[in-house]
Amino acid sequence: MNKPILVFKFGGASVKDGDAIINVVRILERYNSHNILLVVSAMGKTTNNLEHTFDAFMERDLDVFTERLTVLNNYHTEIINSLFKPQEAGKLRNELQLIFNQIAEYFNKDITIPRAQLYDGFISFGELISSKILQCKIEMDLGLSKWIDTRTNILTDDLFQKANVQWPNSIKAIRKQCLPALEKHGILVTQGFIAANQNGKTTTLGREGSDYSAAIFAHALESESVTIWKDVPGMLNADPKFFKDTIKLDRISFREAIELSYYGASVIHPKTLKPLQNKKIPLLVKSFTAPDEPGTIIDVDTSNDHMVPSFIFKKNQVLFSITPKDFSFLIEANLSDIFSKLSEAKAEINIMQNSALSFSFLIDHDPMKIASILDILNTNYEVKYNTDLELVTVRHYDEKTNEFVCQNKKILLQQRTRNTARFVLG
By a kind-dependent CB cut-off of 5 to 8 A, residue 363 interacts, out of Mg ion, ligand ASP, none, with none
By a kind-dependent CB cut-off of 5 to 8 A, residue 207 interacts, out of Mg ion, ligand ASP, none, with ligand ASP
Q: Which of 407, 414, 370 is nearest to 388 (CA)?
A: 370
On whether the CB atoms of residues 355 and 371 are closer than 8 A, the answer is no
Applying CB under 6 A, does 124 fall inside the site for ligand ASP?
no
| Minimum distance of ligand ASP from residue 103's CB (angstroms) | 15
Applying CB under 6 A, does 193 fall inside the site for ligand ASP?
yes
Binding mask 5-24 toward ligand ASP (x if CB under 6 A, else -) reads ------xx------------
| Residue number, 211 or 305, with CB nearest to ligand ASP | 211
The site that binds ligand ASP (CB under 6 A) totals a number of residues, namely 12
| Minimum distance of Mg ion from residue 382's CB (angstroms) | 43
By a kind-dependent CB cut-off of 5 to 8 A, residue 45 interacts, out of ligand ASP, Mg ion, none, with none
| Residue number, 11 or 309, with CB nearest to Mg ion | 11
Footprint on residues 297-336 left by Mg ion (CB under 5 A): none
Applying CB under 5 A, does 41 fall inside the site for Mg ion?
yes
| Minimum distance of ligand ASP from residue 287's CB (angstroms) | 17
| Minimum distance of ligand ASP from residue 206's CB (angstroms) | 8
| Residue number, 193 or 361, with CB nearest to Mg ion | 193
By a kind-dependent CB cut-off of 5 to 8 A, residue 42 interacts, out of ligand ASP, Mg ion, none, with ligand ASP
Applying CB under 6 A, does 3 fall inside the site for ligand ASP?
no
- C-alpha–C-alpha distance, residues 212 and 199, integer Å: 22
| Residue number, 208 or 259, with CB nearest to ligand ASP | 208
| Minimum distance of Mg ion from residue 372's CB (angstroms) | 30
Among 6, 9, 11, 137, binds Mg ion (CB under 5 A): 11
Binding mask 23-52 toward ligand ASP (x if CB under 6 A, else -) reads ------------------xx----x-----
Applying CB under 6 A, does 210 fall inside the site for ligand ASP?
yes
| Minimum distance of ligand ASP from residue 290's CB (angstroms) | 21
On whether the CB atoms of residues 255 and 305 are closer than 8 A, the answer is yes
Applying CB under 6 A, does 156 fall inside the site for ligand ASP?
no
Contacting positions for ligand ASP (CB under 6 A): 11-12, 41-42, 47, 126, 192-193, 207-210
Contacting positions for Mg ion (CB under 5 A): 11-12, 41
